[in-house]
Amino acid sequence: MTRIYTDDDADPKALTGTVAILGYGSQGRAHARNLRDSGHDVIVGARRGGKAWARAEQDGFEVVETREAAKRARFTALLTPDMTHREVYAQIEPEMDAGDTLMVAHGFSIHYGQIKPRADLDVVLVAPKGPGDLVRREFEIGRGVPSLFAVQQDHSGKARDKALAYCRANGGTAGGAIETSFAEETETDLFGEQAVLCGGASELVTAGYETLVEAGYQPEIAYFECMHELKLIVDLMYEGGLARMHDFISETAKYGDLVSGPRVINAETRQRMREVLSDIQDGSFARDWVLENQAGKPKYDAMLRADLNQNIEKTGARLRERMAWLQPGANAGQSAE
């Protein structure tokens, strides 16, 4: 059985010196504030005059140029988007001393060789399994979001201890931390996004909607059945797995689940999933994505425009205008309990 690490397994003293947070987006902002509240000396590295610089200053952090942050820190968390890692690492590597630690929250750039950290650095991964806002909220109420951690290079002999200490400072061991590898974290994360969470789910929803509309049903009714109500089912599964979903849906829905689900997700579907996984494992997907970025993302932009121009999006936008609870500020003033 996989071991789950808790606060008792992490030594806060293993994370010493200044921690630099590079990238002040959703995760970066949450990590910076959590580590500061855990008693660590945190500085933020950003582009002078940018939005990240201003926001970090508003949050009370000392903000310096990216190179300066890496120079002053003993532990540098690289939390900028994956495709920026090569450029950012090229800036900070000359400023890092032997024995310093480079941390990422997703292993893409290192696993696929976009950056090749110096051999005299510790290289670790700490990946909370939730968005930054949730990571911060759970920390503030004394809980935490489960996290993954891994070690790629252990020059100092203490890389694992430092990764666990960072997990603890960010609330990860309160939520429960699981040890993994850069390969496992990267490949499973990409597969989940592509085959299930984003690619798989969006294509399934769209195909269901189009099947009903092509059969003559009203687009609005198809939207409710295939897109809108998906949240109800996902929430149940998130809260308690398949068992909770089955507890709250009708007997008719359960029977339909059991007899028709395997007709949609069948042996052919699973083979397609294996092909997606193979492209991830052999580096094909990473190579194509890197090349697409280097070319200015023309195919990506065209596919995204087409995706957002589908009929289901137009139908949904019109219906969501009537859903007051989805409008900005709709939940203002409500209790956060």
296 has binding-site annotation: no
60 has binding-site annotation: no
Instruction: Write down the catalytic residue from 31, 106, 155, 228.
Output: 106
Structure tokens at 95: 């400023």
Kindly state the DSSP code that residue 304 receives in the 8-state scheme: H
Q: At what angle do helices 199-214 and 311-320 cross, to 10 degrees?
A: 90
Tell how strand 177-179 and strand 62-64 pair up.
unpaired
What's the order of all strands across the beta sheet hosting 42-45? 62-64, 42-45, 19-22, 75-78, 101-104, 122-128, 147-153, 177-179
C-alpha to C-alpha distance for 177 and 146, rounded to whole angstroms: 6
DSSP H helices, the chain, are 26-37, 51-58, 66-72, 85-92, 108-111, 132-140, 159-169, 172-175, 182-191, 199-214, 219-223, 230-248, 251-264, 267-281, 284-294, 298-308, 311-320
310 has binding-site annotation: no
132 has binding-site annotation: yes
Three-class SS state of 337:
coil
In the residue annotation, 106 being an active-site residue is answered as: yes
202 has binding-site annotation: no
171 has binding-site annotation: no
Number of neighbouring beta carbons within 10 Å of residue 217 = 13
25 has binding-site annotation: yes
C-alpha to C-alpha distance for 21 and 45, rounded to whole angstroms: 6
Residue whose token pair is 């399994």: 129
335 has binding-site annotation: no
Contact 71, 94 (CB under 8 A): no
Strand partners, 149: 126, 179
47 has binding-site annotation: yes
Annotated binding site for NADP(+), which residues?
24-27, 47, 132
Q: Binding site for substrate: what residues are annotated?
A: 250
Residue numbering of the annotated binding site for Mg(2+)? 189, 193, 225, 229
As annotated, the binding site includes 24-27, 47, 132, 189, 193, 225, 229, 250
Catalytic residue set: 106
